[in-house]
Amino acid sequence: MRNCFIFLLMILIFNFPAKAELGLALAPMRVEINIPAGSQHTDSLRLTNDADDSVRIRTELLDWYMDESMTPQFADRYAQEKNFSCRDWLEVNPREFDMPATESFRVRYTIRVPAGTPDGEYHCGAGFVTLPPVNPDQPPMGVNIAVRAVAALYIIVGNPSSDPVLKDFSLRALPDGTWQAVTRMENLGLRHFRTSGFLEIQNSDGQLVDRLEYPPIPVLPKRVQTFPIPLKTVLAPGTYILRSQVDVGLPEVLEGSARLVVEPPAHN
């Protein structure tokens, strides 16, 4: 039985060579379009197949949002994005096509904004995903890895503005013994803003313990975005002062501070 198993394994190895890695490059990956209600806009995205083999591509019309770990989440639809989604306004052509190895292709998209759309910013995504190869002479076997590239679209109707608020700070101990500083920012407006700036952590004597940079992620309209940022330092019990400055693209910089106490670990 052992010899049979080895023979079968050798057949699999020599008859199913490893496949080349897949890769898609998309440009631009972020598009902002100012367009009046009742109008349409047509443009194109440049998709490149970086792999050594040809691939078949299927386009997707997507909703998206940023989760609490600052990671974009994409899906066909998200109920919570209904009032801010441009997914149903988006058309992409062609919907399915083949791309030769190491070549580029222009994919056209059209946005049609319905008449009477309220002023505001709306977001959606144009996605491109690789499909598994189809060989009619050979049954499917093995694991196929799909690659997805997504362009985030921001559709601005009228003249909306962002309204950033720096809500609060906290310090969080993680199970592996490391720490996070967590900032929450709220956007009360109807247009997204992006963050740039820092958060400093000082001890009770005013000495700098750690300095963290905010990542440049979007805070979408009418929501609270959480920014969990890893500390390079393990915090001992004591009192800490958090000071933050955030550039959100407005003339004024958001500033805030908080005094937080790290308690000694509880002993059972």
Concatenating the DSSP letter of every residue in 143-210 gives -----EEEEEEEEEES-----EEEEEEEEEE-TTS-EEEEEEEEE-SSS-EE-EEEEEEEETTS-EEE
pLDDT of residue 41: 98
pLDDT of residue 268: 56
pLDDT of residue 193: 97
Domains of the chain: 20-157 (2.60.40.10), 164-262 (2.60.40.10)
pLDDT of residue 23: 82
pLDDT of residue 7: 30
Global pTM reads: 0.85
pLDDT of residue 208: 97
pLDDT of residue 214: 97
Question: Which secondary-structure segment (H or E) carries 15?
Answer: helix 2-15
Strand, helix or coil for residue 182: strand
pLDDT of residue 146: 82
pLDDT of residue 137: 52
From 131, 40, 55, select the one nearest 86 (Cα to Cα): 40
Q: For each successive 10 residues of the chain (268 residues), what is the average pLDDT?
A: 33 32 86 97 96 92 97 96 97 95 95 98 97 60 75 97 96 95 97 96 96 96 97 96 95 94 78
pLDDT of residue 21: 55
